């Protein structure tokens, strides 16, 4: 486990309903459920290790959006050990988490189907008509 992820997990342990963001150099990172919420809000890519990162040029936009969505957050700068917190009395973390997880799971299912279709089409372009006819039959 990377040091940045250890820092995240340590902060997250005491802040379950708060988005935890770790600054490392000119990038910011978050993981797991917090990554899914940011994926939903900003369409950033989540890596296979459940890490989501964004550059410092997006920092203000991310924080302004989190504030406008009534989401509490912590930003920890790993180089200076500085911790900034924003607490919202009407924190909607659990609401956004539920919605974001549902959308993320739907997206994964959809992407899985698209990948399978692409493989079938790469193998044989004639599969297009078979797939298209099958989808049309489901839509009837």
Instruction: Please tell me the predicted confidence (pLDDT) of residue 2.
Output: 87
Residues 68 and 115 in one domain: no
- CA angle (14 as vertex; 16, 1 as ends), nearest 5: 85
- Domain housing 12: 3-86
pLDDT at 61: 97
Tens of pLDDT, residues 81-131: 999 999 999 999 999 999 999 999 999 999 999 999 999 999 999 999 999
Please give the tally of structural domains in the chain: 2
What is the CATH number for 78? 3.40.1170.10
18 with 37, same domain: the answer is yes
Q: For residue range 53-86, what is the model confidence (pLDDT) as tens digits?
A: 999 999 999 999 999 999 999 999 998 999 999 9
If asked whether residues 102 and 124 sit together in one domain, one would say: yes
Is residue 78 located within the same domain as residue 102? no
Return all residues near 53 (Cβ < 8 A) that are at least 6 apart.
27, 28, 29, 44, 47
Residues 18 and 57 in one domain: yes
Report the C-alpha gap between 24 and 20 in whole angstroms. Answer: 13
pLDDT for res 20: 98
């Amino acid at each position: 486990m990377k040091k940045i992820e250890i820092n995240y997990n340590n902060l997250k342990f005491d802040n379950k309903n708060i988005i935890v963001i770790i600054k490392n150099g000119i990038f910011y990172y978050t993981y797991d459920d917090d990554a899914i919420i940011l994926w939903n809000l900003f369409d950033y890519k989540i890596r296979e290790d459940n890490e989501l990162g964004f550059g410092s040029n997006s920092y203000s936009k991310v924080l302004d959006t989190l504030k406008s969505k009534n989401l509490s957050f912590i930003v920890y700068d790993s180089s200076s050990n500085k911790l900034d917190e924003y607490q919202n009395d009407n924190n909607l973390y659990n609401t956004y988490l539920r919605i974001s997880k549902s959308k993320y799971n739907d997206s994964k299912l959809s992407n899985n189907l698209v990948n399978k279709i692409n493989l079938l089409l790469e193998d044989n372009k004639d599969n297009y008509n078979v797939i298209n006819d099958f989808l049309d039959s489901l839509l009837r």
